[in-house]
Amino acid sequence: MKLNRAFLCLPVLLLGCQHPPAASATQPSRPTTTDASILRVFMWSDYIDPQVVRAFERAKGVRVVIDTYESNESMLAKLQGGGASYDLANPSNYFIRPMLRAKLLQPLQTRLLSNFRNVAPGFLSPAYDPGNVYTVPYQYAATGLAYNAARFVPKSQSWNLIFGPSDTLKFVLLDDPREVIGAALKFLGYSVNSTAVPELRAARDLLRRVVAKHGFLGFDGGPGIRNRLLAGDIDLGQIYVGDLLQGAAENPGLRVFLPREGTTISTDTLVILRAAPNPALARAFIDWVLTPRVSAAISNYTSYGNPNSAARPFLDPLLRSDAAFNPPQADLKSGKIEFIEELPAGKPPRLYDRVWSELKSR
């Protein structure tokens, strides 16, 4: 998610990169035309390299109109309200099932995508879309722990730095319930999507002790945590990797790692809407985005993780070398690095809400 980074924007996501808007971007509109030469895209703001858009327009002889949103919720509300007729949307993984229930998506027909083979194995057939019937991964955000090496260098790459008994470090956690509770669950050896009452109680009790530490300096968004690390005000910060990497370009002393116990990950996707006026053109755009050099150009622009195996040689050196930006495929397949999923309706969301409300009130 261009993490809103509110979980999925994860991280990651997950959520934001601040760049000049794409030249083809427009203010929100009510497109009604069915002109076969116009592709209408609804996506997170500042989330694609303008050069990628212009190159597609030149190659296909079409015009791309991009309207933007700042949250998955606002995206879904607009689509459900019938106020717009888009071809493509850019939802985070945990919003795919709600969109399917609302009958907003049509199958991608990945057999028609010549570049679908470039998708990294760890991003194929995810739980939110078995078989990639409706989605292709666009960008992702894993969540890690970040530090400024000029102030502090950790001796281990573990959640224990925060969740252990020591109270010698100053740290900040993300202002996001699924990320914070998910990290505690992962540290305890559970799934970040656990709905088991005993496991959630254990996570709650652990987090009660964590927020009571003298070194705990509150909750913040990814950019805020990055800025506090840059200023040298804190030792550690839970952060979406993409947010940290933007700061690392400014200060190479900023580092991030994925804790050895595991962590969360969120993916923003590309989907074709059920009422798309130009589904064939939408499919052509998705195939364009899956081209290795194009996919890399997008990540080089956003500083987000890239789920395209063939794009790796074309990534900026920082993105290519940083292990947090390229989690091992084995860890994705095993669930050690785990996608945050939509909670089942009923009791589970209420349990998470109760834990979060208590933490925020302390």
pLDDT value at position 1? Answer: 55
| Mean pLDDT in residue range 20-48 | 65
CB 226 within 8 A of CB 237: yes
Residue among 107, 203, 112, 119 nearest 159 (CA): 203
What's the whole-number mean pLDDT along residues 49-55? 96
Q: Which two tokens stand for residue 206?
A: 């652990």
What is the average pLDDT across 58-83?
A: 89
DSSP code of 342? P
| Predicted confidence (pLDDT) at residue 213 exceeds the cutoff of 90 | yes
Q: Evaluate if residue 223 carries a pLDDT over 90.
A: no
Query: What is the C-alpha separation between 143 and 83, in angstroms, rounded?
Result: 34
Yes or no: say if 304 and 141 are a contact pair by the CB < 8 Å rule. Answer: yes
* Residue 39 confidence (pLDDT) above 90: yes
Question: Residue 184's closest CA among 157, 155, 215, 206?
Answer: 206
Mean pLDDT, rounded, of the chain:
87
Higher-pLDDT residue of 353 and 242 is: 353
pLDDT digits (tens, 9 = 90+) for 250-306: 788 999 999 999 999 889 999 999 999 999 999 999 999 999 999 999 999 988 889
For residue 55, which amino acid is it? A
Q: Is the dihedral of CA 213, 214, 219, 222 positive or negative?
A: negative
List Cβ neighbours of 114 (8 Å cut-off, separation of 6 or more): 287
Min mean pLDDT across 93-102, 282-291, 318-327 is at 318-327
DSSP 22: P
> CB 279: neighbour CB atoms within 10 A?
18
pLDDT digits (tens, 9 = 90+) for 108-159: 999 999 999 999 998 999 989 999 999 999 998 889 999 999 999 999 999 9
Over residues 153-194, the pLDDT tens digits come to 999 999 999 999 999 999 999 988 889 999 999 999 999 999
pLDDT of residue 2: 53
Cβ burial 7-23 (10 Å sphere, 16+ → b, else e): bbbbbbbbbbbebeebe
Q: How confident is the model at residue 9 (pLDDT cuts 50, 70, 90)?
A: very low
68 Rama sector, left if φ>0, alpha if ψ -120 to 50, beta otherwise: beta
Domains of the chain: 38-140+266-325 (3.40.190.10), 142-264+339-361 (3.40.190.10)
Query: Which pLDDT value is given to residue 44?
Result: 87
DSSP 92: B
Global confidence as pTM:
0.73
Residue 260's pLDDT is 95
